[in-house]
A and B are shown apart, each in its own frame.
Chain A
Amino acid sequence: MKGLFSTAEAARLAVASLKANPVRGVLTTLGIVIGIVAVVTTMTAANGLANSFKESVAVLGADVVYVSRTPWMFDGGFFQFRNRPRIEFAESAELKARLPRGVVVNPTAGTDRSVKFGSRTADNVGVVGTTEAQALISSTVPELGRFITEADVHHARRVCVIGATLHENLYNRTDPINTELKIGRAEFRVVGVMEKQGSAGFFGGPDFDSQVYVPVTAFMREFGGAARNFDFAVKAPAGVGVADFEYEVIGAMRGVRGLEPGEPDNFAINRMDSLVAMFNNVMGVVLLVGLLVTGVSLFVGGIGVMNIMLVSVTERTREIGIRKAIGATRKAILVQFLLESSGICLAGGALGLAMSYAVAAGIDRFLLPASVSLPIVGVALGVSMVVGVVSGLLPALRAARLDPIEALRYE
């Protein structure tokens, strides 16, 4: 006996009502469209940022501990690091001696130089002095030729391995092997090209693909390496947790430095996962602020929808009276108007999502790898639905509570 007004039927009514006033519908939706574009773009960009960060950080290796003069990330207090002694090349051998057998220690130092091949020049190229041990630490391998060998380091040969981007830019796709590359004022013979490591130019950090690697000994001779500050990449032996290993490295390095117990470390230990944790913290705040700001635009959009729904309820007072007279319950009217407002918002959300795809494609092309993922689509549609229901609630309640007699008399 109970006449339950079906939701499908209400949805049909909502669609009919939207069709009846398309211009208004579109204008009302605009706020939601903009809000959804903002939310989706923020989330997509954050996602892309996180992915490209993880990609570039993965190059560093999860089981590698870096010994440096300063932490990679620190807030203020630069001077406390400024007075620390440099990490000297000679210390790498001492450190290795104090660590268990099988531990790989790779000392590196870097500088910027112009790199020239024929008539082509690349400025501010990161030149990295490294050893054959890098091949044991990094997962990337040469795409052409070979990496630096022990003999290269031992004899301080002027050979180099160039990054993929550098290869593209300087060699115009010709074979670079055994060509002479001018790095600064010195000539180096190219022996290898590294495979592409992906976009790693993160936070203005090194772009691995446009670096050039030379034997650390040749580096010191040609680029004044004796006075340079080094970084040591120390790889944990298989089966040792990187957190435990970190303490071992600290102990060994304190020994190298001859620090008394109680004296603070005058070097820093860096790890990829601490970088990731730091990044996640920063990213969390950025995302929160971003979503807060974009949330405001959605809120404004929601107010627009509420406004137009209130107008719509007033305009359709008589219609509501008719519906009530022929048996619409309060719930039926409520559902009808809620569906209408959520329909408006869902349509706006879908439109915004479509536009976000275009925006994401633009970001992907010019900034960083980004794509609208399925969870983001879900969030966008869910959020627009919620905005629709919330902004439609007041108007729908007003409609549902209308007195049928009064409503029928309304002109």
Chain B
Amino acid sequence: MGVEVRDLVKRYDMNGAGVQALRGVNLTVADNEYVAIMGPSGSGKSTLMNIIGCLDVPSSGQYLLDGHDVSRLGEDELAEIRNLKIGFVFQTFNLLARADVFHNVELPLIYRGLSPAKRRPLVAEAIESVGLADRAHHRPSELSGGQRQRAAVARALVGNPSIVLADEPTGNLDTVTGEEIMALFDRLHRQGRTIILVTHEADIAAHAHRVIRVRDGLVESDSAEPVAA
């Protein structure tokens, strides 16, 4: 199960000139792996992350998520997959400024169509697990950066996704707070989650058990066993 990517190609048409962001990526991430995807800017790692996160679809190639081919799905089907299987953590937290922590964490379950009565215990549990129980009714503007990212992690977890996808999760945090957040990811991994980090910082990537380096739209190196072609 997990993530399985075959010959992934992504072309962009920029003012008539074709740009290949991904040029045939092969990658498998098993359940409960802790993976860091590294690469300089322009390497294609953002594109790869967008496709793995089901925000985008490849131009060609195949992406199997939990064994289902999601590489040819339409926008609303992708939205549904994101809702059920992906938990995003962003560099800039991306919380709704006007809503409190509770409502932010609740949001994925609202879009899943769960009733308020079913949502409440799940939301409370997710907030509790990131240590924000006493901040549940604060707005993001009333929280520190670390607390905001914890709220974002709680939002990523609340729907019990297959993958937690974190894009530079410590990029906007100081080192100490960043380490706290990474400790949170470490713990989530120990609890059985599949975590994919996208980062360009080596000490962040060091938390992962496997590092995949991307360059020029291809996998340059993979610290795990090379994937059979």
Q: Mark A304-339, 1 if CB is under 8 A from B, else 0.
A: 000000000000001101111111111110000000
In the bound complex, CA of A408 to CA of B53 (Å): 13
User: Pick the contact of A325 from B80, B82, B113 — CB < 8 Å?
Assistant: B82
Cβ of B206: which chain A residues have Cβ within 8 Å of it? Answer: none
A325 touching B110 by the CB < 8 A rule?
no
Cβ of B76: which chain A residues have Cβ within 8 Å of it? Answer: 329-331
B98 touching A327 by the CB < 8 A rule?
no
Among the stretches A2-10, A143-151, A357-365, the one at the interface with B is A2-10
Query: B30 at interface (Cβ–Cβ under 8 A)?
Result: no
In the bound complex, CA of A329 to CA of B99 (Å): 20
Query: A229 at interface (Cβ–Cβ under 8 A)?
Result: no
B111 touching A326 by the CB < 8 A rule?
yes
Query: A266 at interface (Cβ–Cβ under 8 A)?
Result: no
Q: Residues of B within 8 Å of A, CB-based: how many?
A: 26
Query: A20 at interface (Cβ–Cβ under 8 A)?
Result: yes
User: Pick the contact of B98 from A5, A16, A405 — CB < 8 Å?
Assistant: A16
Query: B75 at interface (Cβ–Cβ under 8 A)?
Result: yes
Q: Mark B90-119, 1 if CB is under 8 A from A, else 0.
A: 100011101100000001101111000000
Q: Indicate whether A6 sits within 8 Å of B96 (C-beta atoms), given known contacts A326-B107, A329-B79, A405-B56.
A: no
Q: Indicate whether A328 sits within 8 Å of B111 (C-beta atoms), given known contacts A3-B80, A3-B83.
A: yes
B50 touching A405 by the CB < 8 A rule?
yes
Query: B73 at interface (Cβ–Cβ under 8 A)?
Result: no
- Interface Cβ pair total, 8 Å cutoff: 72
B82 touching A326 by the CB < 8 A rule?
yes
A16 touching B99 by the CB < 8 A rule?
yes
Cβ of B95: which chain A residues have Cβ within 8 Å of it? Answer: 322
Whole-angstrom distance from the CB of B87 to the nearest CB of chain A? 8
Cβ of A330: which chain B residues have Cβ within 8 Å of it? Answer: 75-76, 79
In the bound complex, CA of A332 to CA of B83 (Å): 13
Q: Indicate whether A322 sits within 8 Å of B94 (C-beta atoms), given known contacts A2-B80, A327-B80.
A: yes
Query: B148 at interface (Cβ–Cβ under 8 A)?
Result: no
A327 touching B94 by the CB < 8 A rule?
no
Query: B34 at interface (Cβ–Cβ under 8 A)?
Result: no
Identify which of residues 256-300 in chain A touch chain B, using a CB-to-CB cut-off of 8 Å.
Answer: none
In the bound complex, CA of A404 to CA of B50 (Å): 10
In the bound complex, CA of A62 to CA of B75 (Å): 68
Query: B84 at interface (Cβ–Cβ under 8 A)?
Result: yes
Query: B143 at interface (Cβ–Cβ under 8 A)?
Result: no
Q: Mark B168-197, 1 if CB is under 8 A from A, else 0.
A: 000000000000000000000000000000
User: Pick the contact of A327 from B96, B99, B112 — CB < 8 Å?
Assistant: B112
In the bound complex, CA of A408 to CA of B46 (Å): 13
User: Pick the contact of B79 from A17, A322, A324 — CB < 8 Å?
Assistant: A324
A9 touching B110 by the CB < 8 A rule?
yes
User: Pick the contact of B107 from A17, A318, A323 — CB < 8 Å?
Assistant: A323
Q: Mark A1-44, 1 if CB is under 8 A from B, else 0.
A: 11111100100000011001000000000000000000000000
In the bound complex, CA of A9 to CA of B118 (Å): 14
Query: B1 at interface (Cβ–Cβ under 8 A)?
Result: no
Query: B63 at interface (Cβ–Cβ under 8 A)?
Result: no
Whole-angstrom distance from the CB of A214 to the nearest CB of chain B? 78
Whole-angstrom distance from the CB of A179 to the nearest CB of chain B? 77
A323 touching B111 by the CB < 8 A rule?
yes
Given A3-B83, A327-B79, A328-B83, 12 additional A-B pairs, CB 8 A: A3-B80, A6-B113, A322-B95, A324-B82, A325-B82, A326-B83, A327-B83, A328-B79, A329-B111, A331-B76, A405-B56, A408-B55
- Interface set of A (CB-CB < 8 Å, partner B): 1-6, 9, 16-17, 20, 318-319, 321-332, 404-405, 408
Q: Which 4 A-B pairs have the closest CB atoms?
A: A327-B83, A3-B112, A327-B111, A3-B113
A sample of 12 inter-chain contacts (CB < 8 A) reads A1-B80, A319-B96, A321-B94, A323-B111, A324-B79, A326-B108, A327-B80, A327-B159, A329-B80, A329-B111, A330-B76, A408-B90
